[in-house]
Amino acid sequence: MIPALLATTMLTQSWIYPPTKTVNQTDTYHGITVADPYRWLEQPITTPEVKAWAEAQNELTNRFLNQIPNRKPLLDELLRRVNYERFDIPVQKGQRTFYGYNSGLLPQNVIYVVDRPGATPRILLDPNTLSTDGTVALSGTDFNNDGSRMLYGVSKAGSDWIEWNVLDVATGKTIGQPVKWSKFGGGVINSDGTGFYYLRYPAPEGDTALTAANENSSIYFHSVGLDQSTDQLIYEDKTKPQTFLYPAMDDAKQELFIYSDEPGSTNNRIWHVNHDGKTVTINKILDANDANYTPLAIRNSRLFIRTSKDAPTGKIISMPLSGGAMTDVIPARAEAIEGASLTQSRIIVQYMKDAHAVVETFDLAGNPMKNIPLAGLGAVTGFTGSSNSDETYYSYADFTTPATIYKYNAAANTSEIYRKPELPLDPSKYTAKQVFVTSPDGTKVPMYIVHRKDLKITGNNPTLLYAYGGFGASQTPWFSTSRTVWMDMGGIWCLANIRGGSEYGKAWHEAATKVRRQNAYDDFIACGEYLVNEGYTTPKRLAIQGGSNGGLLIGVAMNQRPDLFGVCIPEVGVMDMLRFNKFTIGAAWEGDYGSPENQDEFFSLYRISPYHNLKPNTHYPATLVTTADTDDRVVPAHSFKYAARLQAVQAGPAPVLIRIESSAGHGAGTPIRKALEAVTDVYSFTLHNMGITIPEIF
């Protein structure tokens, strides 16, 4: 039973948290003894004592949240605003067109197919029928050349584990049995749909599926209709158990490639595979591990590749499929390449200019053709190419424009709106601007500031600062109906494009890797200081939020500047930087974080690790840690240990709570209502701890 809360008001009370035992566990790294008193929380959540601890923590959190006024009207408004038709970018294969669709509040998008131009769309696969609670989600789809078969992956309760299936498009029936023990969307169907290549791990032992280190990845070929035990091994290397392998095919599905990523590196290798159904030959065409390489397409017997080789902002090259000399097609320039694809006669390149998209086209020789006009300073996705067509689709969005799908003819350079959502709100009420913040080392860091046009900036506005800052993942403008609710409650929302992403290319990414990680945190803290110094808000009303690597960011920023922030929301964060590589795919993060086994990198990790740098007698901000019971990307033990230690050392009156979602993982595939319930709790916790009442009517 939870001890009663002691207090007169929620903002000034003293807290009694559920008891959390400590253990006498220490580890020695490079001569340094490090205590880990909450190691027992690394056990699976199904372990009775861990389960009891999690239930007690959730009960306390729910008790606190349930007494915040007007949470139900807030959730109702979030649901109302997301209740509009949404379409995914279509995929054309043969005469068929495939797309995802959501009528508004469906837990998962439904896959539709149009069998021929002018035909009536029909449901091909509805993942909402695969579970009663909406927690079974699609984790990847691929189609063979004529669109007669669809490969689809299914994940359960948010787990990264995928079961692959093949569906006959004409009948809508699944063929054969599921193929197990795959992850990360690593599946591609062959040209005629008789089989598919997939990433596979050894079956985990016992109850370790959600925690055990993912090692010895391999690539297999599955023949549709046969048992998985008969699958053909394409490639493995047991001498390098932590190498991550990934299959890919060209757009014509004639050639197979394997990506090989090694721990501790931000580069990769590319190998070409000849597989005639019986024998396998591997040609390691790009094997130096000296840059990033992404195969794009094959045109005129040459392989086009996006690479950072001698080009930190990226360039496009071509080479013979058999390997050999590389030829520059589109040279590097100041703006970073964020993406590239090929149609029949054009190369489409998405550049990143100060964290927003610029799209240009080139002929296959690399000669500039036309820019693609965009609606504003936003982001684009799509442009999937084909060797036999110059038509493709893309989606554009920004902070005030919902994702709108365009049909694009590359040869004519014409775009026409294909799908434009009809929103239950007016996005023109909001405005966004970009500022540049000076980090301590002089680096200029872009930051977007978004709010209602009619908002009066008082210097005390509730402000939510978000960032990610890692793994080369650029953070670009996107539209969010839930963000409009925050802004309609008087809030300001900010996105900091800190180092660690690829907003300015590989150098921007690597400026915050390994022993340079502190640069990302310095950038973020500088952005927080800017918002206070420029009169947007005060520390009490400055909240910070980030997920996964961004959760790590929030933990570090809070530890280093507890005086600067009023509310902290570290979501599914990597909080123990000395043991992150012990669980699931954690070893793959060493390219960004470094390794505790390396002495220099250990000391860097030890200095920033959120779990290890919590200090007694410190007044920490109000903190809502979030995680999920089946998160096997960043295991919940990170958040469990961090929350337990933070509760133990908190010397101030602000609450330290943890929200543990059930039947959920790292975020992908979360049903809409479950996702918006989480948003409701974050907004409620944040505003309440700022001393702001949620409105009853919006």
Q: Which DSSP letter does residue 365 get?
A: T
CA distance linking residue 140 with residue 187, whole number of Å: 8
CA distances 538 to 458, 533, 543, 575, Å, are 10, 9, 10, 27
What per-residue string of b and e applies to 305-341 under the rule 16 or more CB within 10 Å gives b?
bbbbbebbbbbbbbbebebeebeebbebeebbbbbbb
CA distance linking residue 125 with residue 148, whole number of Å: 14
Tokens matching residue 407: 């049909």
Find the DSSP H helices in 101-242: none
Contact 109, 100 (CB under 8 A): yes
Count of C-beta atoms within a 10 Å radius of residue 675: 18
Count of C-beta atoms within a 10 Å radius of residue 67: 11
What CATH number was assigned to the domain covering residues 26-80+514-689?
3.40.50.1820
pLDDT digits (tens, 9 = 90+) for 155-214: 999 999 999 999 999 999 999 999 999 999 999 999 999 999 999 999 999 999 999 999
CA distance linking residue 585 with residue 105, whole number of Å: 32
pLDDT digits (tens, 9 = 90+) for 116-139: 999 999 999 999 999 999 999 999
CA distance linking residue 348 with residue 361, whole number of Å: 5
Give me the pLDDT at residue 3, please.
29
Q: Is 668 exposed, middle or buried (0-12, 13-18, 19+ CB in 10 A)?
A: middle
Give me the pLDDT at residue 10, please.
46
Three-state DSSP class for 177? strand
CA distance linking residue 405 with residue 90, whole number of Å: 9
Name the E strands within 276-390.
280-286, 293-299, 302-307, 315-320, 327-330, 336-342, 346-353, 356-363, 368-372, 379-382
Tokens matching residue 321: 């499929």
Q: Is 352 exposed, middle or buried (0-12, 13-18, 19+ CB in 10 A)?
A: buried
Contacts for 431-438: CB closer than 8 Å, 24+ residues apart? 431/400, 432/377, 432/398, 432/399, 432/400, 432/477, 434/354, 434/355, 434/377, 435/530, 437/496, 437/523, 437/526, 437/527, 437/530, 438/526
Q: Is the Cα torsion angle 445, 451, 454, 458 positive or negative in sign?
A: negative
Of the candidates 595, 666, 684, 688, the residue annotated as catalytic is: 666
Comparing CA positions, the residue from 541, 547, 534, 698 lying closest to residue 625 is 547
Comparing CA positions, the residue from 61, 56, 63, 65 lying closest to residue 18 is 56
Portions of the chain given CATH number 3.40.50.1820: 26-80+514-689
Comparing CA positions, the residue from 202, 219, 316 lying closest to residue 272 is 219
Give me the pLDDT at residue 13, please.
59
Look up residue 338 and give its amino acid: E
Contact 347, 328 (CB under 8 A): no
Comparing CA positions, the residue from 456, 543, 457, 539 lying closest to residue 493 is 543
Contact 148, 168 (CB under 8 A): yes
CA distances 459 to 246, 432, 455, Å, are 49, 18, 12
Contact 647, 51 (CB under 8 A): no
Q: Is 277 exposed, middle or buried (0-12, 13-18, 19+ CB in 10 A)?
A: exposed
Which residues are CB-contacts of 485 (< 8 A; sequence separation ≥ 6)? 74, 77, 78, 81, 683, 698
**DSSP line for 584-631:** TTGGGGHHHH--TTSHHHHHHHHHH-TGGG--TTB-PPEEEEEEETT-
Give me the pLDDT at residue 14, please.
75
Q: For 685, list phi and psi in degrees, rounded to 5.
A: -60, -45
pLDDT digits (tens, 9 = 90+) for 567-603: 999 999 999 999 999 999 999 999 999 999 999 999 9
Give me the pLDDT at residue 6, please.
28
**DSSP line for 513-566:** SGGGTHHHHHHHHHHHHHHHHTTS--GGGEEEEEETHHHHHHHHHHHH-TTT-S
Portions of the chain given CATH number 2.130.10.120: 85-254
Q: What is the distance, to the nearest Å, from the Cα of residue 469 to the centroid of all Cα atoms in its chain? A: 12
Of the candidates 139, 159, 439, 548, the residue annotated as catalytic is: 548
| CATH number belonging to the domain at 85-254, selected among 2.130.10.10, 1.10.1040.10, 3.40.50.150, 2.130.10.120 | 2.130.10.120
What pTM was computed for the model? 0.96
Three-state DSSP class for 141? strand
CA distance linking residue 104 with residue 423, whole number of Å: 10
Spans in the chain with pLDDT lower than 50: 1-12
Residue 275 falls in the annotated catalytic set:
no
Contact 278, 234 (CB under 8 A): no
**DSSP line for 256-291:** EEEEEE-TT-S--EEEEEEE-SS-EEEEEEE-S--S
Give the Cα-Cα-Cα angle 168, 169, 174 (nearest 5 degrees): 35
- Neighbouring-strand partners of residue 494: 449, 465
Look up residue 268 and give its amino acid: N
CA distance linking residue 594 with residue 697, whole number of Å: 49
Residue 548 falls in the annotated catalytic set:
yes
Q: For 577, list phi and psi in degrees, rounded to 5.
A: -85, 5
Tokens matching residue 137: 């989600």
Contact 131, 178 (CB under 8 A): no
Q: What is the distance, to the nearest Å, from the Cα of residue 143 to the centroid of all Cα atoms in its chain? A: 24
